[in-house]
Structure 1
Amino acid sequence: MNLPMRSKFGKAALGAAFVVMAASAAQAVEPVLISYEAAPSSGFDLPKLDQATYAVRSAFALQALTDIVPKIAAATGVEDSKMVSEVTPGGYLLKTNASLQTMADLDDAAADRFAASLGYVFRQYSVLVSRLDDPAGTTDFVTVSFPRDKLDSAVSQAFFEKAASVDKGLGGGYTAFGDDMFFLNVADAEGKPYSGLDHAAFLAGLEKAANAFEPVKPTVSNKGKAVARFVENDWKTQPAGEAYVARLGGVDSELVKKLDVIEADYAALVESAATRYGWK
């Protein structure tokens, strides 16, 4: 495979890349999708960051994707030729932000290590690792499809809010690619969905939201099963990223030392953006 890392794609290009990578699965593993954000969730005093527009967050995410993600990938041993990335709308707890999506040919251990590295440097509480349409999957997911070129960050947020108005369990999160929003009914370690809904209720709620949504009319399809899990660190109780560090070999590991250097580059990027965009 020779799929270079890209900072930005045309409409639905990452979805097309997924098809190409999935077609090669007989020769390797199923492609993994890593979903995360670039704007920090902890470690910086940025009281006005929450007021940043989607356009500003998208610009920052694109800069982080260009300047920082390749360094994290290299430190973690992930080859550029084995991944593709883009900035897309993504929702978490009823808020749409510019999210980063990286699709890669990685096994589970390598995927979790890469996810932990991204979460550690970008100071994220969690990074979602998933494999769509995986026969081994136990996570149900639903696709909400919009007419061509009608899905943007504003429409995504409006539908997210509509879904949560049907049932608050549908306001947990989504990922958007091209004209599609993907809702994964991710479960915890005990197999209990974070949404509090079984698959039938999860699907029915999204269908009800789609039927009531205006002025653009989406369609809902039940896409089957995925493998999905969160790689996490609670920065409130683990302010040094202890959960991530444990996955990465400990504070004295070569990988963590490399990531600490990259984190300094990231901190400089955040400080520059904070000045430019007025986040302080």
Structure 2
Amino acid sequence: MPNLKTAGYVERAAFAAQVLEKIVPKVAASIGVDPAVLDSEVTPGGYLLKTNASLQTEAALDDATADRLAAAFGYIFHQHSVLVSRLDDSGGSTGFVTVRFPKDTLDAAVAQRFFEKADAVEKGLGGGYTAFGDEQIFLNVVDGNGKSYSGLDNAAFLDGLKRTAASFGPPAPQVSDSGTAAARFIGNDWDKAPKGQDYAARLGGAGSPTVTALDVIATEYAGLVSASAAHYGWNR
């Protein structure tokens, strides 16, 4: 799709809303999770100083089920990785900071401005964020060796976001929460596993009932992508 890179946030959000309605519940059901227990939204999400429409899901799931759900989403949506996190986990090693904005003021444009401002205030804060409602959440995720991808320790990470919030506006946000979280990436190396084998292994392997069900959903998702590409001109 040669013109996908030119697609604006509104178009991407409209497509994501269709995915949320038509695909996400089926993915959840395929691994035995009742879609009704998921609180999913199309929200701004940031990665490397770029904001895009993203799907975020909250649910009270045990770790094994959460990882399987992440693998199922990654398998269907061809993601390199899916972030699983649990905030306020005293045993976690990932620092988190929640920045709350006045009611109904956090949209994609505001989130992107704050994202850019944070990186200007403290290099390392432009790695990524998620958003729910009026909250923009930053995670100081660490690698397998316990080293943060941001290059900042949790105290510096928090301080940088406090300074950003104090100098940002309008709208004027505030740091409303911080602490440690459990966070991990569930991923697939598509170069080495082009059929999503890393994800499939978490779901019973190729040919298992779960993966077979997901393959049917993947066909439906591909049709949705094709229809949206034709509608928005992404394939021209």
TM bucket by the smaller chain? over 0.9
Normalising by structure 1, we get a TM-score of 0.80
Alignment match of 2:120 (pick from 155, 159, 165) = 165
Q: Hey, what does 1:250 align to over in structure 2?
A: 205
Report if the CA contact (8 A) 1:94-1:173 is conserved: yes
Greater Cα shift, 263-272 or 169-178 = 169-178
TM-score (norm: length of structure 2): 0.94
1:190 — aligned with what? Answer: 145
Of 105, 121, 127 in structure 2, the residue corresponding to residue 150 of structure 1 is: 105
Q: Which runs of 5+ in 1 are unaligned?
A: 1-45
Q: In the superposition, relative to structure 1, how do residues 192 and 156 fare at CA in structure 2: closer, same or farther (>3 Å)?
A: same
- The residue identity in structure 2 corresponding to 1:119 is G
Cα 1:199–1:54 change in 2 (3 A) is same
> Which AA in structure 1 matches 2:102?
P
Secondary structure in 2 matching 1:214: coil
Give the letter aligned to residue 158 of structure 1. R
Structure 1 residue corresponding to 2:227, chosen from 257, 272, 280: 272
Asked whether the 8 Å contact 2:100–2:175 carries over to 1, the reply is yes
Aligned 8 A contact 1:146 1:217 in 2: yes
1:73 has 2:35 as partner: no
Q: Give, in whole Å, the separation in 1 of the partners of 2:52 and 2:27.
A: 22
State the Cα distance separating 1:276 from its structure 2 match. 0.6
Q: Distance in 1 between matches of 2:84 and 2:6?
A: 28
The amino acid of 2:125's aligned partner reads L
* Structure 2 segments unaligned to the other structure (5+ residues): none
Across the aligned residues of Structure 1 and Structure 2, the Cα RMSD in angstroms comes to 1.5
> 2:76 matched to which residue of 1?
121
| Contact 2:158 2:178 (8 Å CA) reproduced | no
> Per-residue CA shift, 1:237-272, capped at 9, x if unaligned?
432112212222221222111111110000000000
Letter in 1 for 2:121: V
- Please say if residues 203 and 222 of structure 1, whose CA atoms lie closer than 8 Å, have aligned partners that are also in contact: no
How many residues of Structure 1 are paired with residues of Structure 2 in the alignment? 235
Instruction: Work out the percentage of aligned pairs sharing the same amino acid.
Output: 62
Give the drift of 1:184.
0.8
Letter of the 2:137 partner, please give it: F
